[in-house]
Structure 1
Amino acid sequence: MRVISGTARGKRLQAPRGTDTRPITDMIKEALFNVLGSGIGGASLLDLFAGSGSVGIEALSRGARQVVFIDNSHNAVRVIRDNLNNCGFTQGFELYRNDVFRAVEILARRKTKFDYIYADPPFTVEAIFGPLLETLDRTSLLAPDGSLIIRSPRRMILPLKLKSLQEYRVNNYGESTLHYYRLI
């Protein structure tokens, strides 16, 4: 796993040990950032279930203004911190060890808005996807022209429309699917 483009291009990234984390492949990450394009420059990104921090670090490398990493694993937070240091990032990010649902509520109370929200819940806990989408729909963390991207198992069907979010793009990659939502 590596940083694909930008100021930290080619830097190797570590993943947390064990089977709890399923890092995004370089191929899927490259496809994701091809969709986001130059819009990531100067943008803010919320990286939920951040794991190794690969997506948020890629965003920073490509010029994102601010990235907030959230993961509830002590090991994952340590690895993200190490990866940020290895890539030379000392600012432009916040890193929190917290339950994603609790963190989303805290960010909503602060009235924080993000241009992009990337969520990569554990594939082994399929029951988390519905409540996560409902929470993100209700809390309005997405900026008006922003995108919410959720990585899910390919076989999983997510709702096309919620109260304030609507799916506008779906891309399949092997056993994974990226679902793109925007505000209605």
Structure 2
Amino acid sequence: MRVISGTARGKKLKAPPGFITRPLTDRIKEALFNVLGGEIEDARLLDVFAGSGQVGIEALSRGASYVVFVEKHPAAIRTIYANLDGCRFASGFEVLGMDVFRALRILVGRGKVFDVIYVDPPFDQPEIFVQVLQALDNNRLLAERGTLVIRVPRKHALPERLAFIAQFRIDVYGESALIYYRQREREEEL
């Protein structure tokens, strides 16, 4: 794993020891950031189930103003800090070492919203995909013009529309799919 672009370009990233992780390949990560394009510069990004922190670190390298990493596993949290240090990032981020639902409650309590939200839940817990998506939607953590991306197994379907967000793109890469959501346009009241 490495940082693809930006100020930390080429820096190698560590994986959490003893973890069964599914790190993004460079191909998928590059495609993700190509789709997000200019949305990353000065963005506030939420990296949920952060693992090694590679998506949030890539965003910082490409000019994101602030990244919140959410990860509950101590070994992964240590790896995130080691990777941030290895890329020489000393500020512009926060690591919430806790369960995702607790972290979301804290972020809501602080009034946080994010321009980009990236979610990479464990593939062996399919019930959590919709739960996390609904929690993000219900708590309005996505900025008005923001993008939410969730990585799921290729054959796993997610709701096309929720209360406040709707799918606008699905990209498939081998056994993984990236599903993109944006705020639904406000419906006119009759």
Shorter-chain TM-score tier? over 0.9
1:138 maps to 138
Q: Are residues 1:95 and 2:105 paired?
A: no
Q: Deviations over 1:113-160 (max 9, x none)?
A: 100000000001111111111111100001100010000000100110
Letter in 1 for 2:28: I
Q: Deviations over 1:29-84 (max 9, x none)?
A: 00000001122011110000000000000000000000000100000000000000
Q: What's the offset of the Cα at 1:20? A: 3.5
Aligned partners of 2:173, 2:117: CA distance in 1, in Å?
Answer: 19
1:162 maps to 162
Partner-residue secondary structure (3-state), 1:72: coil
Aligned partners of 1:25, 1:108: CA distance in 2, in Å?
Answer: 31
Partner-residue secondary structure (3-state), 1:124: coil
**Gapped runs of 5+ residues in structure 2?**
185-190
Aligned partners of 2:167, 2:112: CA distance in 1, in Å?
Answer: 22
Aligned partners of 2:125, 2:19: CA distance in 1, in Å?
Answer: 13
Q: Which has the larger radius of gyration?
A: 2
Q: Deviations over 1:2-39 (max 9, x none)?
A: 00000000000001122432211111100000001122
2:188 maps to none
Aligned partners of 1:27, 1:101: CA distance in 2, in Å?
Answer: 30
Partner-residue secondary structure (3-state), 1:24: coil
Letter in 2 for 1:13: L
Aligned partners of 2:17, 2:176: CA distance in 1, in Å?
Answer: 21
1:148 maps to 148
1:46 maps to 46
Partner-residue secondary structure (3-state), 2:18: coil
1:63 maps to 63
Aligned partners of 1:181, 1:28: CA distance in 2, in Å?
Answer: 17
TM-score, L = length of structure 2: 0.95
**Gapped runs of 5+ residues in structure 1?**
none
Letter in 2 for 1:121: P
Aligned-residue RMSD, C-alpha = 0.8
Q: How many residues align?
A: 184
1:34 maps to 34
Aligned partners of 1:91, 1:115: CA distance in 2, in Å?
Answer: 18
Q: Are residues 1:9 and 2:9 paired?
A: yes
Aligned partners of 2:130, 2:64: CA distance in 1, in Å?
Answer: 28
1:119 maps to 119
Aligned partners of 2:66, 2:137: CA distance in 1, in Å?
Answer: 21
Aligned partners of 1:123, 1:18: CA distance in 2, in Å?
Answer: 17
